[in-house]
Structure 1
Amino acid sequence: MRQNLAFRLKMAKQKGELCAREHGFTALAVDPFAIAAKHDIEVGAKADVSEGVSGMLLRHGNAFGILYSTFITSEGFQRFSVAHELAHYFLEGHVDHVLPEDGMHVSEAGFTSGNPYELEADQFAAGLLMPSEFFKPALRRRPAGFATIEALSSLAHTSLTATAIRCAELSDDALAAIISTGPTVDFCFLSDAIKSLPQLTWIRKGTPVPADTVTARFNASRQRVLSAERDADDIDVTTWLGGNQHAKVTEEAIGLGGYGKTLTLLYSETLGQSGVDPSDEDEEQDLAEKWTPRFRR
């Protein structure tokens, strides 16, 4: 069952990448609004929705529409919301499951779901907006760090969070992208190079933010998070990841403003080796747990 879910999520991301190519995109940024228009799917903004609602897929017979929430003003979040709803339209079996009759399917931002259809839609959206064949060459031309996340976010018109996670997936460098709220980790992605560290401790949802880190000090002041401030310092990688290989990495903490969360990057251009495949269990855990949040900033 776990292997089947991991395979489904991997295939959903690849189908998102294929969708970008099939619609004529040859570079970043991929425009989900243009793709919707090619299929006569009307897309509109909707302000008067409940907090947390990110998007809606509408159906009337064989006609479809998408509404995206403007409650979160981030362009990257809104584009991801549209791409997520497009996934339900394009992925086999989704319409029959989430919207079998005329009506409306609602997605909620930041809602942790074990529903494989919602997880597949997130993976499709990530692949559609940041296809590896376009994203990885741009990533390779830049050094690890927040400046690269910002540059690629601007290039792809994606949120900082989504961009950081995609960088961790595709980077040849040792890179961890961690989202936290106050004293608690929400989710984490590790690059293959950082996964190669011996006996590291996998950072799971609900793990406490380690004491005496930039992030712990940063999150102690909610105002710094809301003001989108930043802080950085060097730290021993074992402070975050455990294991038995001591090495210096850079830790950057970036407040995500009204989202109320912090993006933390741990990175080194010399640590670890890329090309190490995670175990099936870790891969499934990555995909099923860590792509569930919608990306706001």
Structure 2
Amino acid sequence: MTRKPGPARRSLAEAAASSVLRQMKIGGLWVDPEAIAASKGIAVKAKPDTAAGVSGMLIKVGDDFGIMYATHIPSRGFQRFSISHELGHYFIEGHPEALLTTGVHQSRAGFVSGDPFEQEADYFAAALLMPELPFKKAIADNDPGLACVEFLCKACETSLTATAIRYSSLTSDGIAALSSSGDTIDWCFMSDGLKQAKGLSWVRKGTPVPAGTVTARFNAEPGNVATGQRDAGKGQLNDWVGGDRPYRVTEEVVGLGQYGRTLTILTCKDLSLRAEAEEPDDDEDALIESWTPRFRP
């Protein structure tokens, strides 16, 4: 049965990826998507002349499948994500029937498309390349912020952007990951910890980068983005998402080179959900008192 159009089914896509990992008996942090493709008899080849904006293709000829991935972006992390995105179209329920009516489907991976099929394949790719349990353990072993994203990026061999998005969805810390181009925000993902802030508003695509922020100053110099420069400073969460009370954040910014975008990581220590998060100072005495053992005389 052909699937009817509708919103992206994130939970289904991620469950499909988890099922593949279980079937392949993969339990570590690094995953080889080409080995997964080979296990299903799917040929994977590079395509150097892919059309602009196309990250890859899923091809079906008779009963045989093939994947071609773009190389115009030299990032190995992006290429691995593109291959995994095509595997998503292969494994997710309803995708082959809906997308391969002509035998060829061109994809736009990397959370840049509003099409629900493309979004589902992106969710699949993220869950496949950054498995939840080992990914969460690595988060717990590192301090929050851009350094954690970069550690996970290297360990999983994924792009900085995809890693930041996955990090924001699985961390217990107060984190927001944002992408911007010039003075405009492309997307924003917020962690559950950050969502504790009362009265915050969702940052939509096309929202202006707040004036006076580290990101705004950084993006004002195009060379910063093109050459992969970075900067950091202190700021206010409210400048980005509003809210009923002020929260301090650390704002870390890095230019993404030829992508033409900037990645911003906001970290708010006061909104962490980590079990070991410190209690507010005015509650410290009460906490000590509640845990003081009492013995009968």
Tell me if TM exceeds 0.5: yes
Q: What is the 5 A alignment of 1:1-297?
A: 8-101=9-102, 103-109=103-109, 112-273=112-273
Q: Distance in 1 between matches of 2:250 and 2:111?
A: 30
The CA distance in 2 between the partners of 1:126 and 1:134, in whole Å, is 13
The C-alpha deviation readout for 1:106-140, integer Å capped at 9, x for no partner, is 11356854432222111111111112112111111
User: What CA distance in whole angstroms lies between the structure 2 residues aligned with 1:23 and 1:6?
Assistant: 29
What fraction of aligned residue pairs are identical, expressed as a percent? 49
- Structure number with the bigger relative contact order (C-alpha 8 A, sep ≥ 6) is 1
Residue in 1 that maps onto 2:289: none
Residue 201 (structure 1) shift: 1.9
Whether the 8 Å CA contact 2:210–2:239 is kept in 1: the answer is: yes
1:152-200, CA deviations, whole angstroms, 9 ceiling, x for partnerless residues?
0010111101111111101111000000011000000000111110101
Amino acid at match of 1:85: E
The Cα of 1:8 is off from its aligned counterpart by 2.2
CA distance, structure 2, for counterparts of residue 173 and residue 11 of structure 1: 25
Match of 1:295 in 2: none
Tell me what 2:284 maps to: none
Length, aligned pairs only:
271
Give the 3-state SS of the residue equivalent to 1:72 in structure 2: coil
Runs of 4+ in structure 1 deviating by more than 4 angstroms, as ranges, are 4-7, 109-112, 272-275
Cα 1:160–1:233 change in 2 (3 A) is same
What is the Cα deviation at residue 46 of structure 1? 1.0
Query: What amino acid does structure 2 have at the position aligned with 1:46?
Result: K
Instruction: Identify unmatched segments of 5+ residues in structure 1.
Output: 276-297
Q: Which residue identity lines up with residue 87 of structure 1 in the other structure?
A: G
Instruction: Give the Cα–Cα distance (whole angstroms) in 2 for the partners of residues 50 and 196 of structure 1.
Output: 42
Distance 2:185 2:193 in 1: 21
- How many Å separate the matches in 2 of 1:12 and 1:99? 18
RMSD across aligned C-alpha pairs, in angstroms?
1.8
Residue by residue, what CA displacement relative to the aligned partner does 1:214-272 show, whole Å, maximum 9, x if unpaired? 00000011110010000000112111121122121100111000000000000033325
Gaps of 5+ in 2: 276-297
The amino acid that maps onto 2:22 is R
